[in-house]
Amino acid sequence: MTLALRDAPAAEANPFRGSQDGNSHKVDACSIVIFGASGDLTKRKLLPALYNLSLDGFLPSPTSIVGVARKPLPDDDFRAQMKEGIQQFSRRRPANEAAWNELASRLHYISADFSDAGSYEKLRADLESVEKRNGTPPNRLFYLAIPPEFIAVAISNLTKSGLLARSNGNWSRVIVEKPFGIDLESARQLNRQLQQYATEKQIYRIDHYLGKETVQNLLVFRFANGIFEPIWNQKYVDHVQITVAETVGVEGRAGYFDKAGVTRDIIQNHVLQLLSLVAMEPPVAFDADAVRDEKVKVLRSLRPIRESEVQILTSRAQYAGGASGGKTVPGYLQEPGIPPESTTETYAAIHCAVDNWRWSGVPFFLRSGKRLARRATEIAIQFKAPPHLLFRGPAQARMEPNVLTLRIQPDEGISIKFTSKVPGPAPVLQPVRMDFLYGTSFGVEPPEAYERLLLDAAAGDSTLFTRADEVEAAWSFITPILDTWKSLGIADLDTYGSGTWGPRSADDLIARSGRAWRRV
């Protein structure tokens, strides 16, 4: 059964219409400067996002887009590469030639070594020349799509060269790509380095999951509908499952992934962000500090998992060879570039508790893995059974718990499962589902996450970006688990077949609470 919105006015189809004050985002003309422009992220995500924003009229005409990388490259060659990326990866294909030509006229490339302080004086001069040519005011949004080890030196050099200076009402901001450290101490050190050269209001730590439409809609769903928030607590909720499942393996990222593992790559940031949005209290206002204050409270309320509890409350594993997507695939240790003695986890599950008044006694089960049976990201809130069952015998056997599911990808939407009577004289019960689907209800494809986040950063809205204390609170929970796994070596490292839903140890983890994983 599908829930659809009827006769939505055409104006409301605009995915960015509206903000906390009821108006659309006000975006000043600026220079968007992408460090690491020769990387995959720029071609696959950032330029397609900027193209779509331009197509929708959200980038003021004088805005300049500047790619920065070490390799010398003529502007026309850079434009050709970016057009290829838009044609291949934009949600709107093929590219609109007129729209592309307009964007290409404002697209430039500057060769610079972002680890060399001397290069920044040349970068400043070249950027000022581009801004003068395009009529762009000196508002600057620097996107650091570069390896983590270069983040601090890049911000230091941006500051020393005056590129981060603010004057005469103009602004400068920096978007920092994850990972934000590899553990609590490195995250604290990175935050200290960032805040040495830039204010917290200038720093935008990006987690693209927060730009996904369903993630944003979670707050609206909770706080703009009077029927859900009263039951969003330990009195009515039995447990919560958060799943990020991928069917792919390491896919050429062996060097990065084997150092990170799925816990650092997905759970510490994406999954804990989803948990904090599910569990947070209503903010006093929908603005950056108020929302993030409540998220930090949730992360600080996570009950620490002691060393003696790690093997009971967590599961980790590596995928073995098997079949995935109709193809035979190798195991993790057989992947090119993976050391044969690696203990890096490709799957992790955690049973956690939020120690506060609202969620006391409600378990949260988190899991993420590669080479699983299906690609899916979802939040499932399972409610408690009715206190007294009126229906017995065969009717009772078909009763299932009510489940509210927020599907983040693919097929973005929200569904509610409840029990209904099958037509006929006998009391035969059957679970049914009501669905809300973005594509069906609004008639437009949801914008990509990077579109919303780039727009917000250009507008100075940091609500959907992570704050320094938020990052450190998440690492405070995760780091002791990682440290214990490291000390255990292979002692508790399980395996699972490619194309399955994970290891037996994860099934045992949730079964100890009398529950089972959903097959999403």
Strands 237-245, 429-437: pairing kind:
unpaired
Cα torsion angle, 470, 474, 476, 479, sign: negative
CATH topology (fold) of 211-511: Dihydrodipicolinate Reductase; domain 2 (3.30.360)
Nearest to 62 by CA among 127, 118, 136, 112: 136
CA distance 339 to 484: 21
**Cβ contact 382:403 at 8 Å:** yes
The per-residue pLDDT string of the chain (520 residues; one tens digit each, 9 = 90 and over) reads 333 333 333 333 343 343 434 345 678 899 999 999 988 899 999 999 999 999 888 888 889 999 999 889 999 999 999 999 999 998 877 778 888 999 999 999 999 888 888 889 999 999 999 999 999 999 999 999 988 888 989 999 999 999 988 777 899 999 998 889 999 999 999 999 999 999 999 999 999 989 888 888 888 888 988 888 999 999 999 999 999 999 999 988 888 899 999 999 999 999 999 999 999 999 998 889 999 999 999 999 999 999 999 999 999 999 999 888 888 999 999 999 999 999 999 999 999 999 999 999 999 999 999 999 999 999 999 999 877 566 665 555 556 788 999 998 888 888 888 777 777 777 777 777 888 887 777 767 778 899 999 999 999 999 999 999 999 999 999 999 999 999 999 989 999 999 999 999 999 999 999 999 998 8
Torsion, Cα of 355, 358, 360, 362 (10° steps): -110
**Cβ contact 452:464 at 8 Å:** yes
Q: What is the largest CA-CA distance in the chain?
A: 84
**Cβ contact 53:14 at 8 Å:** no
Total length of the chain: 520
**Cβ contact 362:237 at 8 Å:** yes
Angle between helices 75-89 and 47-55 (to 10 degrees): 80
Prior bond of 94 cis (ω within 30°): yes
Nearest to 363 by CA among 410, 400, 312: 312
DSSP classification of residue 118:
T
- Domain regions of the chain by residue span: 29-170, 211-511
Catalytic residue IDs: 270
Prior bond of 148 cis (ω within 30°): no
CA distance 516 to 400: 13
159 token code pair = 């500051």
Spell 17-35 as b/e; 16+ CB within 10 A means b.
Answer: eeeeeeeebebbbbbbbbb
Q: According to the model, what pLDDT value does residue 6 have?
A: 35
CA distance 155 to 164: 8
Q: According to the model, what pLDDT value does residue 519 have?
A: 85
CA distance 185 to 189: 6
428 token code pair = 């035969």
Which CATH code fits 29-170? 3.40.50.720
Q: According to the model, what pLDDT value does residue 4 have?
A: 38
Q: According to the model, what pLDDT value does residue 421 have?
A: 73
Q: How far from 417 is each of 212, 288, 404, CA to CA, in Å?
A: 23, 33, 6
Q: How far from 254 is each of 149, 336, 346, 456, CA to CA, in Å?
A: 18, 7, 11, 32
**Cβ contact 106:65 at 8 Å:** yes
- Which residues touch 421 (CB under 8 Å, ≥6 apart)? 427, 428, 429, 430
Q: According to the model, what pLDDT value does residue 80 have?
A: 93
204 token code pair = 């935008």
- Which residues touch 393 (CB under 8 Å, ≥6 apart)? none
* DSSP codes, 247-315: S---TT-HHHHHHHHHIIIIIIIIIHHHHHHHHPPPPSSSSHHHHHHHHHHHHHHBPP--GGGHHHHEE
CA distance 199 to 187: 17
- Which residues touch 298 (CB under 8 Å, ≥6 apart)? 275, 276, 279, 280, 354, 356
**Cβ contact 409:377 at 8 Å:** yes
